[in-house]
A and B are shown apart, each in its own frame.
Chain A
Amino acid sequence: MKLRRNTVRGAYALTVFTPIVPGHEDALRAYIEELPMGADSPLARLRGLHLSRIQIFDELVDQGHGHRVDTLRFRQLLFTSTFDGELDAYLDDICALLGAEADGWWGHCVGYPGTADRDAFKAYIRAHQVDTNLFSSAFPQATVAEMLEGLALREQLAAFAADAQGLDAATLQSRFLARFGGVR
């Protein structure tokens, strides 16, 4: 049972550290770094996903000042996501929409069962999840869909306001409804 501290209103912060199978580091790095970015990223298939980062954690940094630098037994894969909704649904979406790619990166990690066995996959991710101590969002009540809709509306409204200058009232009303009538 993970704590509510991973959430703020409707947003969830997932942090997962998984140990990499020794000798697989370079193949994993190459796989991650060759993933398409932006709208072509496989992560774009996850509709409620705000942000995600996948990184390899090679070593712990020497801070100087007499720091006894720790050495990792296993290099780690760090997967973080900020998404709308609950973890269980998000993991279902990963299995359904991102299975091949998720297997592509976590498949280099110790004990990973694959997304084909959904229950085992979820158990694996939950077992390697680290609870967030503090999570803050600038938009705690807004979903990805609401943000994207708002951004599109904002642009449309700016364009409409410029085009609509000087229109008579009846034309203004009909054009406004034609443009924005679908907004709910």
Chain B
Amino acid sequence: MTALTLFTPVRRRYVWFLEIGFFCARHLPLIQKHILQFNFIKFVRWTVVQLPGEKLNYRYMLFESNFDGPWQHYIDAFAYVIPRDIRTTWGRGIGFPGPPPSEPLKAWIAHNSMEGGTYYCAHPEASTRMIKSALVVRERIAPLVRAAPQMQPAEFAAAYRRFLTDVQAHV
């Protein structure tokens, strides 16, 4: 698991555009699903920041995400599968290299990535896909556990086989 934190300037005249876009994304399930179409992201957040007590020329966008492995492995997917989304979100800033291709985007991310500090994850060894599978197993085993004591052995064996078939893609 690795975390990626970007803090990039946004021209003030585009802040309203981003805020409306994020508002719509928050309330439209299809967009939520679109955001999480990549099964290597656990959590992702965007925050438009105005730092109190600071007089700055720009507003800033904080982006934080978490990937199953180094972020460099996934940028090709972003650059070629959702280039328009990326350009819409970060293209309001300065010097953003609209993808594709992916190499300038990788260089831009590396340039803006905040490094250092400390990081904690409660499930660091588990990929997003593993966790989704684990939740399916957890949900589906419970009815069998509840029913098992009342079953005859042959009936249980059949139910167990059906259960295993049902969850085999998740184990």
Interface size class of B (residues with CB under 8 A): 35 or more
**B135 partner, pick from A17, A49, A142, beta carbons under 8 A:** A142
CB proximity to B under 8 Å, residues A53-67: 53-57, 60-61, 63-67
Q: Binary interface profile of B, 46-64, with partner A (CB < 8 Å = 1, else 0)?
A: 1111011111111010101
Q: Are A13 and B45 in contact (CB under 8 A)?
A: yes
Inter-chain CA distance A63–B3, complex, in Å, is: 22
Nearest residue (CB) in A for B119 is A53
CB contact between B49 and one of A55, A130, A149, A184 (< 8 Å): that residue? A130
Taken together as a complex, chains A and B put the C-alpha atoms of A50 and B142 apart, in Å, by: 24
The listed residue (B3, B54, B170) touching A154 by CB distance below 8 A is B170
CB pair B138 A150 closer than 8 Å? yes
Shortest CB distance A29–B (Å): 7
* A76-B51, A132-B47, A172-B160 given; A153·B57 CB < 8 A: no
Residues of B within 8 A of A37 (CB): 118-120
Within 8 Å CB of A80, what residues of B? 5, 45, 64
Which residues of B are found within 8 Å of A183, using beta-carbon distances?
Answer: 138, 141-142, 145
Cβ contact within 8 Å between A173 and B45: no
Chain A contact surface mostly: mixed
Contact code string A122-159 (vs B, CB < 8 Å = 1, else 0): 00000010111111111100101011111101100110
Specify which chain B residues have a CB less than 8 angstroms from the CB of A151 in the assembled complex.
Answer: 123, 126, 130-131, 134
Q: Which residues of A contact B126 (CB under 8 A)?
A: 147, 151
The distance from the CB of A102 to the nearest CB of chain B, in whole angstroms, is 13
Instruction: Spell out B's residues near A (CB within 8 Å).
Output: 3, 5, 7-9, 18-19, 22-23, 25-26, 32, 35-36, 39, 41-49, 51-58, 60, 62, 64, 66, 93-96, 111-112, 114, 116-124, 126, 128, 130-135, 137-138, 141-142, 145, 148-149, 151, 153-154, 156-157, 160, 164, 167, 170-171
A177 with B42: CB separation less than 8 A:
no
Q: Is the interface of B mostly helix, strand, loop or mixed?
A: mixed
| Interface residue ranges, A against B (CB under 8 Å) | 5, 11, 13, 15, 17, 19, 29, 32-33, 35, 37-38, 41, 43-44, 49-57, 60-61, 63-68, 70, 72-74, 76, 78, 80, 82, 128, 130-139, 142, 144, 146-151, 153-154, 157-158, 161, 168-170, 172-173, 176-177, 180-181, 183-184
Q: How far is the CB of B124 from the nearest CB of chain A, in Å?
A: 7
Known: A15-B62, A67-B9. A180 touches B145 (CB 8 A): yes
Which residues from B are CB-within-8-Å of A142? Answer: 131, 135
A137 touches B43 (CB 8 A): yes
A166, chain B: closest CB distance, angstroms: 12
Q: Given A70-B57, A153-B138, A134–B22 Cβ distance below 8 Å?
A: yes
